[in-house]
Amino acid sequence: MTRDEALRFLRAHQPLPSDDALALYPELGRSLLTQFDEARKHFEAHPDPECLPLLLRACGDKSGFGVYQLVCCAFIPQPASVVVPHLVTALQSPHLGVRYQAAGLSALFPDDRLVAPLRQVYHQGDDDERSAALLALTRNTSLKARDALLIPRPDIDDDLVEWVDEYFGSPD
């Protein structure tokens, strides 16, 4: 797959259908995920900042049967100064799959610009999103990230507060 073909595919699939929808049409689902993976592999081999927001926004709900988790390989070679703004935007997406993948990738790029959107995902997301946001926030050892974890949620577990204090150190 060439750069132009990969970009064209990604632009046309913002986002891809959910895993449930892909499973209803197995041949179409396999074809879409194969093309997505070919685009991802192209940008892994040929790093290109233009692909980053397109890869993120192409992630449908759930895991893409394991393919979406591999987008990190296209992000790792890029500097945080390029990646973080795209993560901030993706964390605010209306699409669960986009937010989830962005939260997961945020663990690789600890940056205080991600704290507020990660906190929002942590407080409002589903269990998978919350877990990814929690991991990303704990990878950022700043006081801002620590404080974001201590802001109470209605369903927060007291054990989490104790764990955060142990992980980051007590605020006293």
Which of 78, 104, 129 terminates a domain? The answer is 78
Co-location of 73 and 134 in the same domain: no
CATH at 97: 1.25.10.10
Residue whose C-alpha is closest to residue 9's, from 50, 52, 38, 41? 38
In tens, the pLDDT along 54-68 reads 999 999 998 999 999
What is the domain extent for residue 159? 79-171
Q: How far apart are CA 95 and CA 159, in angstroms?
A: 30
Residues 129, 100, single domain; the answer is: yes
User: 159 with 87, same domain?
Assistant: yes
**How high is the pLDDT of residue 127?**
86
Q: Tell me: do 102 and 44 sit in the same domain.
A: no
Task: Tell me the per-residue pLDDT of 92-118, one tens digit each, with 9 for 90 and over.
Answer: 999 999 999 999 999 999 999 999 999
Q: Total structural domains in the chain?
A: 2
Residues 162 and 88 in one domain: yes
Radius of gyration for the chain, computed over Cα atoms and rounded to the nearest angstrom: 17
* Measured distance CA(164)–CA(140) in Å, rounded: 12
Q: Are residues 36 and 88 in the same domain?
A: no
139 with 166, same domain: the answer is yes
User: Do residues 83 and 72 share a domain?
Assistant: no
Q: Buried b / exposed e across 110-120, counting CB within 10 Å, b at 16+?
A: bbeebbebbbe
* Whether residues 72 and 44 fall in one domain: yes
pTM: 0.88
| DSSP code of residue 18 | P
Separation between Cα atoms, residue 99 and residue 119, nearest integer Å? 12
Share of the chain above pLDDT 70, in %: 88
Residue 5: pLDDT band (50, 70, 90) is very high
